[in-house]
Amino acid sequence: MLTTVYALLFYVAFAIFVGGIAYRIWEYWNTPKPAVIPTTPAPITYAGVAWRMLKEITVFESLWKGNKWIWIFAQLFHASLWLIIIRHLRYFLEPVPELVALAQPFGKYAGLTFVLGALGLLARRMFVSRVRYISAPSDYLMLVLFLGIGLSGLGMTFVAKPDIIGVKAFFLGLMVFNWQPLPASLPLMVHLGLVALWMIIFPFSKLLHAPGVFFSPTRNMRDVPREEYHPVPWLPPIDQVEYDPPHGK
């Protein structure tokens, strides 16, 4: 029963996660950028744009300019998340790649910094009046969700270890539609349930900032409006326009 519920839950969650994100990307991709509007000074070459984007997604360049506290917590949060994701690949890959094995000790402690980062962001949201003003209930709940995932994960890493071999067998089985029993463990059920929830809400929430940042026209466009002709797709072509008549006629 437990295995069936979680197996189905993960199929549904995964389908919504992948399908939803793919749909959003399709949506953004197909919406026109009618003008060249990078926030300047902006790079002129594609390589320059790649460099700007790389700085944006790794060292959060704009956020660094904007607010050092948010930057610190956001870096803690996102860098830890990457380590955690890499470490978790060991539950889905057999044999475990070297890089994933290498990340194991860091990934374990990244759980702590992840929670620390999320707590920092939550504290700002609660105690800085400007940020409190712009926060909806969902903005708090999103951080609570991350805290739930992080704390239940830490519980399993450092306190009550579940049957890891069994968990891995469950996920490997899921991938080849050969279900294996999910070990019964409360923190594991909470952890997996919240992760499934995270996957389900991803395509409908501000979590879209992750794929979305790559589509941001103020960051991903080259500053070449004079050098290259960039017509507005939904305006009539230039040979079909009408000019205003001269004045005083």
Q: How far is the CB of 247 from another protein (least distance, A)?
A: 5
* Distance from C-alpha of 197 to C-alpha of 17, rounded to nearest angstrom: 10
Q: How far is the CB of 66 from another protein (least distance, A)?
A: 3
Q: Measured from the CB atom, is 17 or 223 closer to another protein?
A: 223
* Distance from C-alpha of 113 to C-alpha of 72, rounded to nearest angstrom: 11
* Distance from C-alpha of 51 to C-alpha of 197, rounded to nearest angstrom: 34
List interacting residues with another protein (CB under 8 A).
Answer: 24, 27-28, 31-37, 39-44, 48, 56, 60, 62-63, 65-67, 70, 74, 121, 124-125, 128-131, 133-139, 141, 201, 204-206, 208-209, 212-213, 215-219, 223, 225-226, 229-232, 234-235, 238, 241, 243-244, 246-248
Q: Decide if 122 contacts 141 (C-beta within 8 A).
A: no
Structural tokens at position 31: 């919406």
Q: Measured from the CB atom, is 180 or 216 closer to another protein?
A: 216
Q: Measured from the CB atom, is 135 or 180 closer to another protein?
A: 135
Q: Measured from the CB atom, is 46 or 234 closer to another protein?
A: 234
What count of other Cβ atoms lies within 10 Å of the Cβ of residue 120? 18
Closest by Cα among 70, 58, 110, 114 to 87: 110
Q: Measured from the CB atom, is 32 or 95 closer to another protein?
A: 32
Q: Measured from the CB atom, is 93 or 141 closer to another protein?
A: 141
Q: Measured from the CB atom, is 70 or 96 closer to another protein?
A: 70
Q: How far is the CB of 115 from another protein (least distance, A)?
A: 18
Q: How far is the CB of 232 from another protein (least distance, A)?
A: 6
* Distance from C-alpha of 24 to C-alpha of 212, rounded to nearest angstrom: 9
Q: How far is the CB of 229 from another protein (least distance, A)?
A: 4
Q: Decide if 211 contacts 32 (C-beta within 8 A).
A: no
Q: Decide if 81 contacts 44 (C-beta within 8 A).
A: no
Closest by Cα among 172, 73, 192 to 127: 73
| CA contacts within 13 A on the Cβ side of 222 | 12
Q: How far is the CB of 58 from another protein (least distance, A)?
A: 12
Q: How far is the CB of 194 from another protein (least distance, A)?
A: 17
